[in-house]
Amino acid sequence: MNAANRYTPTPRPVQGHHARKRFGQNFLVDQGIIDQIARAIDAREGQLVVEIGPGLGALTRRILADIQPLHVIELDRDLVARLTQQYPTSQLVVHAGDALAFNFAELAQAAGLGLRVIGNLPYNISSPLLFHLQQYRAHILDQHFMLQKEVVMRLVAEPGTKAYSRLSVMLQLDYDMTHLFDVPPHCFNPPPQVDSAIVRMQPREYPGSENLDRTLFAKLVTQAFSQRRKVLKNTLSELLAGVDYAACGLDMQARAEEIGLPVYVAVTHAWQQARLA
């Protein structure tokens, strides 16, 4: 049901809340951007939508016009109290705690539904949170996040570009990602010192990922990008001793940012086989 036809609860007035730097709080206040995000998410009845870090509830309230109940995860105890005061549990289910420790699989299994995860992620924990969610990808239908624009550019970066990084390779293994639009600082209170952007992340099964040793893959990618300005001969030769990396298309005279995901996957498989020999 769309926002025009859905009753949206009017929260009772509550005392103001000051953004807390330790929680990385920058509250979205621009209604036009909020509506644009909601249209991109396109929440529908029967779906299980989980918002990370609802803050003052600006996006929360807009999503509640499309779907109820909405689940939210909030660490700030003052904001938890505010949200539970504003909305009944029939409309909003508040999970008080740290999203970095939240078990998304339990929620999905209890409901018998895949999750749609959304949120304006605190920029100080965005990368750890993305990696935390990655382990629950089998239970997630899609993710729509507001992130620092620099991070979004890294997520969608192509090999050979300055933004291509360890984060690019690690997450492109499991997601198709799309940079949807930018959000300037003046849309927040307080305004952050950086531009923000919205990214859509859709889990996928990348060829060769089903039997990939992810520990080795992470070790390979991390080591490759540990010294970006050096060629891979200097960073990977010792790690890949005994591995026929040339047969995988790995050029040791290249730098990490010049190597595409298929090669990193192929080298990991070759490394797995070499360890079994």
For 48-81, the pLDDT digits (tens) are: 999 999 999 999 999 999 999 999 999 999 999 9
Fold equal for 21-203 and 214-276: no
Q: Is 234 annotated as a binding residue?
A: no
Residue-level pLDDT at 10:
43
Residue-level pLDDT at 123:
86
Cis, bond preceding 190 (omega within 30 deg of 0): yes
- Ranges of residues in the chain with a pLDDT under 70 are 1-25
Q: Is 242 annotated as a binding residue?
A: no
Residue-level pLDDT at 124:
87
Q: Is 74 annotated as a binding residue?
A: yes
Going from N- to C-terminal start, the domains of the chain cover: 21-203, 214-276
CATH number given to 214-276:
1.10.8.100
Q: Please report how the helices 261-276 and 214-224 are oriented relative to each other, as an axis angle in degrees rounded to 10.
A: 120
For residue 207, give every residue at least 6 positions away whose Cβ sits within 8 Å of its Cβ, in sequence order, or none: 262, 265
Range 21-203: architecture per CATH: 3-Layer(aba) Sandwich (3.40)
Q: How far is CA 85 from CA 10, 13, 77, in A?
A: 12, 10, 12
Instruction: Answer yes or no: are the C-beta atoms of 220 and 267 closer than 8 Å.
Output: yes
Closest Cα partner for 52 from 19, 95, 3? 95
Q: Is 76 annotated as a binding residue?
A: no
This prediction's pTM: 0.90
